[in-house]
Chain A
Amino acid sequence: MEFLKKKILELRPDFEKGGKYAQFHTLFDGFATFLFTPDRVSQGGTHIKAGIDLKRTMFFVILAMVPSLLFGIFNVGHQHFLALGEFAGSPLNGLWDKVFYGALKVLPIVVVSYSVGLGIEFFVASKKGHAINEGFLVSGMLIPLVLPPDIPLWMVGLSTAFAVVFAKEVFGGTGMNVLNVALTARVFLFFAYPTFMSGDQVWISEKSDVYSGATALANAAATGTPFQISADQPWNYSLQDMVVGLIPGSIGETSKIAILLGAAFLIITGIGSGVIMISVILGALLMGLIFNGIGMTPFMNMPFYLHLAMGGLLFGAVFMATDPVTAAHTGTGKWIYGLLVGMMAVMIRVFNPAYPEGIMLAVLFGNVMAPLIDHYVVQANIARRNKRLATRASLA
């Protein structure tokens, strides 16, 4: 660390006004403040509201995603070897082979997502003379977690570029985006290259064609229960598998335990909104209950709580819907937003056979609606206070 600090202080004059690399000063500042707290403080009045700045906020979110990422790496390997019929028995058999295989699959996706996204971010920042923002640090980790393991790397790069440019930079960069950046990348891939993003062939990395690789969610959509799989597959998904995460799916979405660990971390540190997480889950359960009551198709009759155990609903509720930029901001608004997202997610799942996973579209829909929700919540508050004022005036 001492060495880095010395190097940074040594290099700094080159990047300041009049220095050799003055045009790259935003880049330099970005890296320097990423590593160390700046030694210069503001002059005059105080501006600090809290000791935590954007960089540390983003870093906490990444820490919260680490359990999902690690389990995802393991699970990619686990599913692969399971489909090949190796390391049968306990999931921990061949642990290091599985982790090694999974890391080979997952880490390149992470690297591509980060290098493309940060590359664009740096380019735009130096071109416009803005300070480099850290917003992409979280998106760059979220993107790999919501993709299937076998996605071609050029698609990862293309979708990341698309999302950063069209969802973020055109609206003015970090903090100005209307839509969640990571979900924009996913939705781009989903519509542009559907064969790589849906169906039963993409969720297990390099599986033999003998096995159906349908996810629990796809099973449920087809038959009404996530457990039962086609006869040609030698194993079944149990509820325990679904909660622990030993099922095929997007890299980070399978393990509900890892996601809940992340959720607890976000709530305890005060970074993520617990209200949104809870209301999304409540909304999903409520919609599931309503469908149980209607009960027209086998999928509607599936016990409502199983919705939480399959697919990306929980991941979306914890990491996507809570995005502080695109979610609703007002207290009441957060409840409405969360319930809307949760109900839409289950509704899309059950009604639309073309889109097996509803949470992606539901969160994007919620993002678009969030400013409207906030507007009406604020207006309602103004109206209420005006009314109170009028009552008091009439009493006086």
Chain B
Amino acid sequence: MSDVLVQSPVEKKPLLGKKERKLITDPLSDNNPVTIQVLGICSALAVTTQMKPTMVMALSVTAVVALSNLVISLMRNAIPPRIRIIVQLTVVSVLVILVDQILKAYMYDISKQLSVFVGLIITNCIVMGRLEAYAMGNKPFPSLLDGLGNGFGYGAVILTVAFFRELLGSGKLFGFKVIPDALYEAGYVNNGLMMIPAGALFVVACYIWVQRSFAKHLEEKE
């Protein structure tokens, strides 16, 4: 609750000031929901064998986080603190069902591929985490931006993971073959480890490794 925006009444603020821009950019790097806050790992392991479903998953989560942040932020003063989790869950599940139905209507194949994991967005810690940490104490517009930022941060990580898993695991990107046949004839073989969830853990670990070697200030002081 402490970081409520302080607004001076006279000064007219631009729509996307420094603070607002930070809401979007921070989750992409220094406050990434997956690599720094270690939230949403399960789905990062489960849906990232191919780029296409991963893309859809990233967009779905972004939509759910952003919209639920907005809705909860609008309702925040009316929610009794003792039942806030139930209220939050209700809002999130409505949004998830909406996303699920839209996917089923317009992208049936991908919806089948994602199977249970669309429904499991409800349990994605990023959603509840942002509601609790941000939307409950901030105005609707910053909350929306925060939701978008965290959705993008999540999407950036899972798309990177999916890129390597699909490239190394099946030699394709977005379903198109990118590794030339000549290489297979020379003895190259797709890496099966990338097709099982354990492979995703290694890719996420490498992502964190690279990120931390560039951003030294993230290292914990001993």
A: residues with CB less than 8 A from B are 152, 154-155, 166, 170, 188, 191-196
Bound: A195/B189 CA distance, A: 10
| Stretch of B13-21, B96-104, B171-179, B190-198 lying at the A interface | B190-198
- Please determine whether B189 and A191 come into contact, CB atoms closer than 8 angstroms: no
Count B-side interface residues using an 8 Å CB cutoff. Answer: 10
Cβ-defined partner of A152 (8 Å) among B187, B193, B194? B187
**B198 cross-chain contacts in A, Cβ below 8 A:** 191
* B202 contacts partner chain A, Cβ-Cβ < 8 Å: yes
Is B193 within 8 A of A192, CB to CB? yes
Q: Give B179-222 interface residues, CB cut-off 8 Å to A.
A: 187, 189, 191-194, 196, 198, 202, 209
Chain A residues in 8 Å Cβ range of B209: 170
Chain A residues lying within 8 Å of B189, measured Cβ to Cβ, are 152, 155, 193, 195-196
Task: Tell me which residues across on chain B come within 8 A of A170, comparing CB atoms.
Answer: 209
A195: which B residues are within 8 A, CB to CB?
Answer: 189
Name B193's contact: one of A154, A188, A196 (CB within 8 Å): A188
Task: State A73–B77 Cα separation when bound (angstroms).
Answer: 77
Q: Is the CB of B192 within 8 A of A191?
A: yes
Q: How many whole Å from A277's CB to the nearest CB in chain B?
A: 30
Cβ B187 vs Cβ A154 within 8 A: yes
Nearest chain A CB to B42's CB is how many angstroms away? 20
Which B residues touch A192, using CB under 8 A? 191-194
B202 adjacent to A191 (CB under 8 Å)? no
Task: List, sorted by A's number, 17 A–B pairs whose CB atoms are closer than 8 Å.
Answer: A152-B187, A154-B187, A155-B189, A166-B202, A191-B192, A191-B193, A191-B196, A191-B198, A192-B191, A192-B192, A192-B193, A192-B194, A193-B189, A193-B192, A194-B192, A195-B189, A196-B189
Inter-subunit contact B187/A193 (CB<8 Å): no
Nearest residue, chain B, Cβ from A166: B202
Q: How many angstroms from the CA of A193 to the CA of B192 in the assembled complex? A: 6
Q: Which 6 A-B pairs have the closest CB atoms?
A: A192-B193, A192-B191, A191-B193, A192-B192, A193-B189, A152-B187
Q: Which residue of A lies closest to B187 (CB)?
A: A152
User: How many angstroms between the C-alpha atoms of A76 and B198 in the bound complex?
Assistant: 33
Nearest chain-B residue to A191 (Cβ)? B193
* Chain B nearest Cβ from A281, distance in angstroms: 30
What's the least CB distance linking A172 to chain B, in Å? 13
Closest B residue, CB atoms, query A193: B189
Closest residue on chain A to residue B196 by CB atoms: A191
The answer for the CA separation of A191 and B197 in the assembled complex, in Å, is 11
Interface centre among A155, A192, A195 (most CB of B within 10 A): A192
Highest count of chain A CB atoms <10 Å: which of B189, B196, B202, B209: B189
- For the complex formed, measure the closest distance between the CB of A354 and the CB atoms of chain B, giving whole angstroms: 12
0/1 string, B23-57, CB within 8 A of A gives 1: 00000000000000000000000000000000000
User: How long is the Cα–Cα vector from A170 to B202 in the complex, in angstroms?
Assistant: 12
Closest to B206 in A: A166
**Neighbouring B residues of A152 by C-beta, 8 Å:** 187, 189
Contact partner, A193, options B191, B196, B202, Cβ 8 Å: B191
Q: Please, which residue of chain A has its CB at the minimum distance from the CB of B192? A: A192
Contacts of B191 in A (CB 8 A): 192-193
Known: A152-B187, A193-B189. 8 other contacts (CB 8 A): A166-B202, A188-B193, A191-B192, A192-B191, A192-B193, A193-B191, A193-B192, A196-B189
Q: Which residues of B contact A191 (CB under 8 A)?
A: 192-193, 196, 198
- Which residue of the partner chain B has the closest CB to A155? B189
Nearest CB in chain A: distance from B116 CB, A: 24
Chain A residues, Cβ within 8 Å of B192: 191-194
In the bound complex, CA of A341 to CA of B191 (Å): 28
Q: Nearest Cβ in chain B — how far from A191, in angstroms?
A: 5
Instruction: Please indicate the chain B residues that have their CB under 8 angstroms from the CB of A166 in the complex.
Output: 202
What's the Cα separation between A196 and B192 when bound, in Å? 11
State in angstroms the CA–CA spacing of A193 and B193 once bound together. 8
Bound complex: CA A191 to CA B189 (Å):
13
* Nearest-CB residue, chain B, relative to A196: B189
